Structure 1
């Protein structure tokens, strides 16, 4: 697997709960490392790296500059899928839509994960 140019690592309240949420949406979690005190998990979408989740307390210990940063983010992430309609139909019962519609003629579907991170689903396309 090719490493991405930028790899998001999200601080989350409960790594297991976040992994369970993303697995229901079609992601695959790679096993945690050998350190039982380090619960960082890499998530794949299809066969490509998508993001990492890391318990907020552990992330704050790792990078003390984040000690006062709340879980969740101001911003959003986009998930490009092969078949927008089929994917959204499959996850719609599992998530609460925060916005949906079109932008530049393309359908868009936004939902929030358990920690408040907003993810916008879009049709995969070449730039």
Structure 2
């Protein structure tokens, strides 16, 4: 697997609960290393690296500058899928949809994760 140019690592309240949520909507989780005490997980989507989740207290210990940062994020992440309509039909009952829109003829569905991160789903495209 090729590492991406930038790799998001999201602080979460409960790593297993987050992994369960992401697996429910089509991701696959892997341990990030060999240390069983480390709660970091890699998440793949359609066989490719997508992001990491790490329990907030361990992330704050790793980077003390984050000690007062709340869980969640200001901003959003986009998930490009191979078949927008099929994927959205599958996850709609599993997520909290906060907005549906269309930009330049492309549909986007936004939902929140249990930790308050916003993900926008759109059709995968070549640039």
TM-score of the pair, normalised by structure 1: 0.97
Instruction: Determine if contact 1:79/1:122 at 8 Å carries over to the other structure.
Output: yes
- Which whole-Å CA distance do the structure 2 matches of 1:102 and 1:125 have between them? 15
Instruction: Determine if contact 1:12/1:71 at 8 Å carries over to the other structure.
Output: yes
- Which whole-Å CA distance do the structure 1 matches of 2:3 and 2:27 have between them? 17
- Which whole-Å CA distance do the structure 2 matches of 1:31 and 1:41 have between them? 5
Mapping for residues 95-106 of structure 1, pairs under 5 Å: 95-106=95-106
Please, which runs of 5 or more residues in structure 1 have no aligned partner?
Answer: none
Q: CA RMSD in A?
A: 0.8
Where does residue 13 of structure 2 map in the other structure?
13
- Which whole-Å CA distance do the structure 2 matches of 1:96 and 1:116 have between them? 10
**1:28-68 alpha-carbon deviations (Å, 9 max, x no partner):** 00135332321100000011000000000000000000000
Please, which runs of 5 or more residues in structure 2 have no aligned partner?
Answer: none
List structure 1 runs of 4+ shifted beyond 4 angstroms: none
Mapping for residues 37-116 of structure 1, pairs under 5 Å: 37-116=37-116
- Which whole-Å CA distance do the structure 2 matches of 1:8 and 1:125 have between them? 21
**1:56-115 alpha-carbon deviations (Å, 9 max, x no partner):** 000000000000000000000000000000000000010010000201110000000000
- Which whole-Å CA distance do the structure 2 matches of 1:72 and 1:43 have between them? 17
Instruction: Determine if contact 1:33/1:39 at 8 Å carries over to the other structure.
Output: no
TM-score of the pair, normalised by structure 2: 0.97
Which SS does the other structure have where 2:31 is aligned? coil
Question: Aligned residues, how many?
Answer: 127
Where does residue 121 of structure 2 map in the other structure?
121
